[in-house]
Amino acid sequence: MIDLFNNLDELKKVVTVQNSFCLEDLCSSVIDASIEYIEKWLGKAQYDKLVTAHANGTATTEENKLIELLQRSLGNFSIYEYLPIGSIHITDAGTSRQENENFKTAYKYQVDDLRRSLMTKGYMHLERMLRFLDANENNYPLWKNHPTAYKCNKQFLINYSDDFGKYVKLKQGRWLFDCLMPVMKSIECFTIEACLGTACFDYLKLKICEGNLSDNDKKLLAAIQPAVAHFTVAAAAKQGWASLSPDGLQFIEQKGNDASKQHNTAKNEMMSVYIRDHEDFGQRHLSKVLDLLKNNPDAYQLWKDKQEEAEEKESDCDCGCEKNNCRCTVTDTGKGGHFIGF
């Protein structure tokens, strides 16, 4: 018995393993997977409650619904973590791998493809679980009352990969979406907040977290989301050719004779076109956001207040002083410029 899997049959319902697989061998990988991929979204208190209820056979109907979704995500993540060490035996004599005439160790590209599939499915089922929780939050008070887990999937202007995919297709769904989150956070901070103003931006984020968007809020959010998506992938593409690791900045490239496909980093020309296109689309959508705000100022009072405040601070001269508070002596030179004297 391990966390959320009382026997091998339960594991086999969510991921393909052979009858000879030893469930206890997966124990440490399940713990690692729960910490790395699950707890920040679900919260440790809710996770522990589900583990205990499942092990004791005391889970309620609502808990069993969540457990079924959680098992699919955790099972795939756990096997993903297990595979690098699954074929290696660690003994007092060191490490070795088991291989005989009936069983051969899988090629590296086969293991890589399998791990990629497991990670994609793990994140896919994680997103399904989060959708379920959002739709049934009152049934899971330990999650709803968690100080960070409840808000974790409500922190962005786009919080689901399939919503992001309406504007830019993500080949690996939630997995890639999760990787884009740090970039998306910067886009929201430096591009969207600058467009809306801090008050309007903070208000919209709060309403998303509360799940209490008005019709006008929904219109504004629908206009903003494609801009966020396009600007995010454009920014991510600029740094996506390399990754920072404990060994330093590494160039990303996959190739080899044992793989049926080769994946190479896009050339500069292709990357430039890709980035330029998405930045262009992002800017066009941002213009539509501004058009919506300008055409409906009374529907977005916080944005309107920001505009009126900015107008009041506009200068009457080219020196940059605030209106009615100019401390400079400005003389027109008659040459299209100004001479500033004191």
Q: Kindly tell me if the per-residue pLDDT of 95 is higher than 70.
A: no
Both 77 and 117 in one domain: the answer is: yes
Residue 333 confidence (pLDDT): 42
Both 13 and 148 in one domain: the answer is: yes
Q: Are 78 and 30 in contact (CB under 8 A)?
A: yes
C-alpha separations of 81 from 11, 75, 112, 113, 243 in Å? 15, 10, 12, 14, 20
Q: pTM (2 decimals)? A: 0.82
Residue 310 confidence (pLDDT): 85
- Whole-angstrom distance, CA of residue 132 vs CA of residue 17: 27
Residue 238 confidence (pLDDT): 84
pLDDT band at 330 (very low <50, low <70, confident <90, very high): very low
CA neighbor of 259 nearest in space, from 102, 106, 135? 106
Both 193 and 146 in one domain: the answer is: no
Report pLDDT digits (tens) over 118-171: 999 999 999 999 999 999 999 999 999 999 999 999 999 999 999 999 999 998
Report pLDDT digits (tens) over 197-221: 999 999 999 999 999 999 999 999 9
Q: What is the mean pLDDT of residues 75-81?
A: 96
Both 144 and 181 in one domain: the answer is: no
pLDDT band at 257 (very low <50, low <70, confident <90, very high): very low
Report pLDDT digits (tens) over 15-31: 999 898 999 999 999 99
C-alpha separations of 309 from 201, 223, 294 in Å? 16, 24, 15
Q: What is the mean pLDDT of residues 243-268?
A: 56
* 130: amino acid identity, one letter: L
Both 108 and 180 in one domain: the answer is: no
Count of structural domains, the chain: 2
Q: Are 70 and 49 in contact (CB under 8 A)?
A: no
Both 46 and 178 in one domain: the answer is: no
Both 290 and 188 in one domain: the answer is: yes
Could you list the residue range(s) of the whole structural domain that residue 192 is in?
173-299
- Whole-angstrom distance, CA of residue 29 vs CA of residue 83: 9
Both 181 and 87 in one domain: the answer is: no
